Structure 1
Amino acid sequence: MPEMPEVETVRRTLLPLIKGKTIKKVTLWYPKIIASDPQEFEQQLVNKKIETIDRYAKYLLIRLSGNLTVVSHLRMEGKYRLVKENTKKDKHDHVQFVFTDGSALRYNDVRKFGRMQLVKTGTEKEVTGISKLGPEPNSPDFTVAAFTRGLARKKKSIKNTLLDQSVVAGLGNIYVDEVLWETKIHPLSMANAFPKTKIKQLHDNINSLIELAIEERGTTVHTYLDANGKTGGFQEMLKVYGHKGEPCVRCDTPLEKIKVSGRGTTFCSHCQVIYK
């Protein structure tokens, strides 16, 4: 699943491709991608201009004229690409925005898990899934104090807590494994069991890891590509994710992989301390 660094990279690469373009027609080859009313989605976007693209956590916010926003979640394998209107349709193309200049933005999704929702600009944090999310890394709201309070309320593992998006939003399986290794925390540690010094270290490492991953244009380990069809670069810097059985780069202990609530989780049993 594209996580915050990947979605930010998609935003940065997609924006110059479509900013200022006017939508002539919307085609829904698979209407279930649309979480709002599909017919209304098609009709209301005609003649709307792409003003900018924002992002919150793993959500893209495509801002349109007329005070409208398309809230897009890529889920597991969603991708955007710009083509000519008459380009042959790929079997996994599900939504097309045709522009007045003859180009077209296509949304491609092998698993069809991604979703788009049309809302009034400014309401996305009330009427979409964003309403359930905590603050983003490197945002003013993601303070050590807020992070400490959020962890104290959780009576489950730190791996599950960081994945549920309510304490901090934007991390998925890859970056949770990486930041827990960096902070020397066992993934089965209880979220409410850390000393204050360890909470601050985890908070700071989340910020620095996400910042670095964005600089490296995200991580490609399966199918992730940006809007220009290019892979990320952070996969070359992964310390634990995808390295089961290999020696820990810090202590040489073979890395282990377990399931935590169904999610594959790679860690070092020697370096990463369990807190209970």
Structure 2
Amino acid sequence: MPEGPSIVILREEVAGFTGQRIERAEGTAGLDKARLVGQTVRSFRSWGKQFLIELDEVSLRIHLLLFGSYRINERKDTVPRLSLGFANGGLNFYGCSVQFIEGSLDEAYDWSADVMSDAWDSRATLKKLRARPRLLACDALLDQTLFSGSGNIIKNEVLFRTRIHPLSLIGELPAAKLRELTREVRTYSFEFLQWKREGTLKAHWLAHTRTTCPRCGIPFVRAKSLGRSKRRSFYCERCQKRYGDSDEIAVEAPVAEA
């Protein structure tokens, strides 16, 4: 599943269509595509893992899910979920969710939760984290109401950087460690963006998909389904400290995207 920095790159790649009129709209998406024809693209935006196309009368929300993809000015052999044609090219989206959003995007989204946004508010995120003490660290970093745009790569890398065991309870983290965790999610997300642009992202991974801890030289634990989010995790039992005993507490589930 593309994470927030990858959607920022998509937003940048299609910026040339801003101000263009949609001349053709087709695909397998179950919405009124005729409604899109004739509308002008006012802006391309992103909120976390969601790609947003703001039009004259409505907006489009596109989520690439686990295996979605897109093509600019070209098509794959398969039928697109949504294809938008402009005078100077076209956008094609595959294997994704497509929905209309009525009304203002600024009213529909909490931009302060988006780790890539200028409106990101770390204090608000800390307040929300403190209100959910039974949330596991590995689930907190995948919760889109807390860290919109953070995905499994960011989760594994940030927990390793901050030396936090993924099964730690948020409420048991010392105040300084919780602030460090919150700060590092945003810091790593922008490094992710830079490395993705350069094509060197995987070369910088310290934990995600790795077999050996670069600090301790011992094998990583490679969990196929960890926490309530049930996502792959890679971590070191020696240098990543476990805060609290989550085995004895009924932990809560993260809030995933709709």
- TM-score category (smaller protein): 0.7 to 0.9
Name the structure 2 match of 1:81: 71
Distance in structure 1 (CA, Å) of the matches to 2:13 and 2:180 = 32
Distance in structure 2 (CA, Å) of the matches to 1:125 and 1:241 = 35
Unaligned segments of structure 2, at least 5 residues: 245-258
Q: TM-score, normalised by structure 2?
A: 0.84
**How many correspondences in the alignment?**
239
Q: TM-score, normalised by structure 1?
A: 0.78
Deviation per CA, 1:55-107, whole angstroms, max 9, x where unpaired?
1111111122x2432121111122221236xx6x6225222112234x33211
Is the contact made by 1:163 and 1:172 (CA closer than 8 Å) also made in structure 2? yes
* Percent identity of equivalent pairs: 23
Deviation per CA, 1:166-214, whole angstroms, max 9, x where unpaired?
2221111110010000000000001111111101111221121011111
Residue pairs, 1:28-177, within 5 angstroms: 28=27, 30-32=28-30, 38-39=31-32, 42-64=33-55, 66-83=56-73, 90-101=77-88, 103-109=89-95, 114-123=96-105, 125-126=107-108, 130=109, 135-137=113-115, 139-143=118-122, 145-154=123-132, 155-177=134-156
Residue 7, structure 1, aligned to residue 7, structure 2 = yes
Task: Give the AA of the match of 2:80.
Answer: D
SS at match of 1:212: helix
Distance in structure 2 (CA, Å) of the matches to 1:191 and 1:205 = 15
- For residue 233 of structure 2, the aligned residue among 265, 271, 276 is 265
Distance in structure 1 (CA, Å) of the matches to 2:20 and 2:105 = 23
Q: 1:140 to 1:20 in 2, by over 3 A?
A: closer
Deviation per CA, 1:128-184, whole angstroms, max 9, x where unpaired?
xx57x97122644422x3333222222131111221222221111110010000000
Unaligned segments of structure 1, at least 5 residues: 33-37, 219-230
Q: 1:269 to 1:92 in 2, by over 3 A?
A: farther
Distance in structure 2 (CA, Å) of the matches to 1:173 and 1:180 = 11
